[in-house]
Amino acid sequence: MLRCKTAASLSPSAPYLMKPSRSDFIPVRELTYHVRLWGEASAPKLFMVHGWMDVSASFQFLVDALKREWCVIAPDWRGYGLTQKPDADSYWFPDYIADLDAILRHYSPDAPADLIGHSLGGNVACLYAGSRPERIRRLVNLEGFGMRRSDPAEAPKRYRKFMDEIASPPTLRPYKDFAELAARLQKTNPRLTDARATFLSHHWGHEVNGKVELLADPAHKIVNATLYRVEEAFACWEAITAPVLCVTANQSEMLTKWIHEADYRERLSHFKHLSEASIDNAGHMLQHDQPEQLAALIEHFLA
């Protein structure tokens, strides 16, 4: 198992000293997985899994805001960050669930885990927690409440779109430098400070032939061939035995673009042991916008 130091605490113009992280590279289902860790290995373990088109370093500001001593363990999903991409032309959701299972078995083979998932990571975490309820002690879901309800009649168009995108794969635009990438991040999220945008740009991107490219396989942008069946998610959520904290951001598009308030309330009804919280002045990337508030909520819940 390779372990190396990272420069997470050396971000240009950082307003404070960031907690240093280190990197593990471990075998996971025939891939070399990059896992970022903060804190001493002897401290209580806290797992964090990121969302779509993101990386593990995205949790840096949340980790900095934690008051207790933790060993935080955060992987880059397959095809993101420093994790190897599979020898495939598309990505399938069950692979994230199986990868998570392997990672938890590697770092916490005996004890149930405290798990935090954001967005896609929140969806993966909830499906996993219902499939292996004995493996989760407490679960924090950051805006990972599923996708739009689908209609079986959409299947022919969905399969057609999937085949078209496989035949003509998507690409990711390069940036002239890290400053341009940081500016693009701030355009998407105006709440992102200059220092945080600079930090993220150096972890979301890397230099290739004088340009900066995202550390993400473009194949992640290919549409999922199968329709989202929310009833299957409900069955998994209902099987979760661990206490669950669901956190939303008041300025997020999750409850307007993806699902509506009434649907959201109905979805929450499928969690048996539920606590709820919301954070103001934060969008979907709430771990970037209000990490101190989020850290306080999480540590109170885990205690």
- Check residue 261 and give its pLDDT: 79
Q: Indicate whether 271 pLDDT > 50.
A: yes
Instruction: Give the dihedral of Cα atoms 149, 155, 158, 159; nearest 10 deg.
Output: 150
- Check residue 3 and give its pLDDT: 34
- Check residue 64 and give its pLDDT: 98
Arithmetic mean of pLDDT, 207-218: 96
Whether 131 maps to a domain, the answer reads yes
Whether 203 maps to a domain, the answer reads no
Over residues 49-99, the pLDDT tens digits come to 999 999 999 999 999 999 999 999 999 999 999 999 999 999 999 999 999
- Check residue 13 and give its pLDDT: 44
- Check residue 5 and give its pLDDT: 35
Overall domain count for the chain:
1
Arithmetic mean of pLDDT, 102-121: 97
- Check residue 256 and give its pLDDT: 78
> Any idea what the Cα angle at residue 124 is, between residues 122 and 127, rounded to 5°?
105
Domain harbouring 64, CATH code: 3.40.50.1820
Over residues 158-186, the pLDDT tens digits come to 999 999 999 999 999 999 999 999 999 99
- Check residue 262 and give its pLDDT: 84
Arithmetic mean of pLDDT, 10-34: 83
- Check residue 4 and give its pLDDT: 35
Cβ neighbours, 10 Å, residue 293: 19
Q: Indicate whether 220 pLDDT > 80.
A: yes
Between CA 268 and CA 270 the distance in angstroms is 5
Task: Report pTM.
Answer: 0.92
- Check residue 6 and give its pLDDT: 44
Whether 186 maps to a domain, the answer reads no
Over residues 222-251, the pLDDT tens digits come to 999 999 999 999 999 999 999 999 999 999
Q: Kindly report the average pLDDT of the chain as a whole number.
A: 93
Arithmetic mean of pLDDT, 18-47: 97
Q: Which string of DSSP letters, residue by residue, matches 116-175?
A: EEETHHHHHHHHHHHHSGGGEEEEEEES--------GGGHHHHHHHHHHHHHS------B
- Check residue 12 and give its pLDDT: 41
Model confidence band, residue 208 (pLDDT cutoffs 50, 70, 90): very high
Whether 197 maps to a domain, the answer reads no
Where in the sequence is the domain holding 118, given as residue range(s)?
2-149+228-302
Whether 79 maps to a domain, the answer reads yes
Model confidence band, residue 15 (pLDDT cutoffs 50, 70, 90): low
Arithmetic mean of pLDDT, 130-149: 95
Whether 202 maps to a domain, the answer reads no
Whether 248 maps to a domain, the answer reads yes
149 in Cβ contact with 230 (< 8 Å): yes
Secondary structure of residue 103 in the 3-state scheme? helix
- Check residue 1 and give its pLDDT: 32
Model confidence band, residue 260 (pLDDT cutoffs 50, 70, 90): confident
Whether 24 maps to a domain, the answer reads yes
Between CA 161 and CA 149 the distance in angstroms is 18
